[in-house]
């Protein structure tokens, strides 16, 4: 049993996902890194296996599971060792999709959910802007009333799945007099005036497509408003803890894979009349890294359980998950640093997995809430009873 929160169903999800990525992703993903895209047929295969609907209610064709299932799923995806693949999937299932589930009308759910479950429709979340990342309320993209719809203008930046995706769940300012007067919209990729102006070249996550999106007098009808007008800021916040969790989850899975590779390498690498693992400085550092990773994993699952409305109490877990995001992202990067170091010169060569994994991990303290912002969330809640 991986931890006290695991059930037979969650264990099966973990095992199925690890088996899938080891067979269908890891052997092929280096080619995807070169073209900057995860093939759609791979995502559709995941859809056919039910892997894109863990959090979707059973009434809509999903499994109806809670936050713990996303923790398990994201950690298992990390075994692929390709962060770009992991985030392509998780932006669809856990960063954009939940907004539709949380705020969508029955008609919107009927229109979009079947394709999202099958992988025929891949989604992105359009919140970040050139001057507004963690400061969501600082966004400048605007939407104004125009007949029986809205006219949207602005730019979104660093949007995963924005180049090849089919639907963007997009935030825009609709009340200029209110810093938090934001509304969410459903914007299909083929909407006139909506374009991926640039495919961004990144340090890591190379096989995920990342876009600068431009909205030039984009018009959407009222039935593409998601949730309540002017309340989008608060509706967006409903999924923040889930976003933070799955980023750490995929990082935990990747860090475990990197540690396992490095232990194997140091045990076989001959040096100084023995093997690298025989050196106390190396094996003890690897041991400490494993201890830290185990602590991050345990904290993540506990925070997930707190917020889980299906298997847990479903309470506010902002303090706990913000702490997991801040500490976990730093630990994962420390581990990747050491794994590159202990691979020696080969750790700096592009054909070595840990070189790529170290680059992929660097975004974790930045994306989904920068470490500094996460620590402020923890500090604001310092002294509160974690048991509540």
Helix intervals (H) in 36-124: 40-48, 67-77, 83-90, 97-103, 106-118
pLDDT, residue 134, reads: 66
Whether residue 171 contacts residue 215, with contact meaning beta carbons closer than 8 Å, is answered with no
Read off the pLDDT of each residue in 328-356 and give the average, rounded to a whole number: 96
Q: Given a cut of 60, is residue 10 above it in pLDDT? A: yes
**222 has pLDDT over 70:** yes
Which range, of 15-24, 140-149, 233-242, averages the lowest pLDDT? 233-242
What is the average pLDDT across 6-33?
97
Report the pLDDT averaged over residues 285-289: 98
Q: Quick check: 15 and 26 in contact, CB under 8 A?
A: no
CATH architecture observed for domain 125-229: Beta Barrel (2.40)
pLDDT value at residue 81 = 98
> Which has the minimum average pLDDT: 89-93, 193-197, 238-242, 254-258?
238-242
Q: Which single residue is written with the structure tokens 């040096």?
A: 271
pLDDT interval class at 271 (50, 70, 90): confident
Alpha-carbon distance of 202 to 334, in angstroms, equals 21
Q: Is the pLDDT of residue 356 over 80?
A: yes
Q: Spell out the residues 6+ positions from residue 234 whose beta carbon is closer than 8 angstroms to its own.
A: 180
The pLDDT assigned to 388 comes to 52
Paired tokens of 172: 């825009």
Q: What is the pLDDT of residue 238?
A: 87
Q: Is the pLDDT of residue 387 over 80?
A: no
Count how many Cα atoms sit within 13 Å of the Cα of residue 126 in the half-sphere of its side chain.
37
Please tell me the predicted confidence (pLDDT) of residue 347.
94
pLDDT at 131: 78
Q: Which fold has domain 8-122?
A: Butyryl-Coa Dehydrogenase, subunit A; domain 1 (1.10.540)
DSSP letter assigned to residue 63: -
pLDDT at 9 over 90: yes
Q: Give domain limits for the chain.
A: 8-122, 125-229, 235-380
Choice among 1-10, 65-74, 217-226 with the minimum mean pLDDT: 1-10
Q: How far is Cα 72 from Cα 231, in angstroms, rounded to an integer?
A: 31
Active-site annotation holds for 377: no
The per-residue pLDDT of the chain, averaged, comes to 95
What percentage of residues in the chain have a pLDDT greater than 90?
Answer: 90
Domain 235-380, classified CATH 3.40.50.150, yes or no: no
What is the share, in percent, of the chain residues with pLDDT greater than 70? 97
Q: What average pLDDT score do residues 167-195 get? A: 95
- Under the banding of pLDDT at 50, 70 and 90, the label for residue 3 is confident
Q: Is the pLDDT of residue 175 over 70?
A: yes
Catalytic position from the list 235, 243, 355, 377? 243
pLDDT in tens, 39-88: 999 999 999 999 999 999 999 999 999 999 999 999 999 999 999 999 99
The DSSP code for 161 is T
Whole-model pTM over 0.85? yes
Residue 24 Cα distances to 16, 91, 172, 241, 331, angstroms: 12, 19, 38, 29, 28
């Amino acid at each position: 049993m991986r931890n006290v929160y695991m059930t037979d169903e969650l264990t099966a999800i973990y095992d199925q996902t690890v088996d899938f990525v080891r067979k269908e992703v890891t052997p092929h993903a280096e080619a995807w890194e070169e073209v900057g895209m995860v093939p759609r047929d791979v995502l559709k295969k995941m859809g056919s296996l039910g892997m894109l609907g863990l959090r979707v209610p059973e009434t809509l064709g999903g499994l109806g599971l809670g936050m713990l299932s996303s923790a398990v799923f994201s950690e298992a995806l990390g075994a692929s060792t390709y962060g770009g693949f992991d985030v392509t999937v998780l932006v669809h299932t856990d960063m954009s999709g939940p907004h539709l589930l949380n705020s969508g009308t029955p008609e919107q759910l009927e229109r979009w959910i079947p394709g999202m479950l099958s992988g025929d429709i891949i989604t992105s979340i359009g919140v970040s802007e050139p001057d507004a990342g963690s400061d969501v309320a600082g966004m400048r993209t605007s939407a104004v009333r125009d007949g029986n719809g809205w006219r949207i203008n602005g730019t979104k930046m660093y949007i995963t799945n924005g180049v090849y995706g089919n639907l963007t769940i997009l935030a825009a300012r609709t009340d200029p007099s209110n810093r938090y007067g934001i509304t969410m919209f459903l914007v299909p990729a083929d909407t006139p005036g909506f374009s991926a102006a640039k495919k961004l070249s990144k340090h890591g996550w190379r096989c995920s497509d990342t876009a600068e999106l431009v909205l030039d007098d984009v018009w959407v009808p009222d039935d593409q408003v998601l949730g309540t007008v002017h309340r989008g800021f608060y509706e967006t916040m409903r999924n923040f803890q889930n976003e933070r969790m799955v980023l750490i989850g995929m990082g935990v899975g990747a860090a475990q894979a990197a540690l396992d590779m490095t232990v194997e390498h140091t045990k076989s690498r001959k040096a100084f009349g023995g093997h690298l693992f025989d050196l106390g400085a190396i094996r003890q550092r690897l041991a400490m890294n494993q201890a830290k990773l185990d602590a991050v994993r345990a904290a993540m699952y506990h925070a997930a359980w707190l917020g889980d409305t299906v298997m847990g109490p479903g309470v506010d877990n902002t303090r706990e998950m913000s702490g997991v995001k801040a500490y976990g992202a730093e630990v994962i990067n420390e581990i990747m640093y050491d794994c590159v170091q202990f691979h020696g010169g080969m750790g700096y060569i592009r054909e070595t997995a840990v070189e790529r994994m170290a680059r992929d991990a660097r975004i974790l303290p930045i994306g989904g809430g920068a470490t500094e912002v996460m620590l402020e969330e923890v500090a604001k809640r310092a002294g509160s009873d974690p048991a509540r």
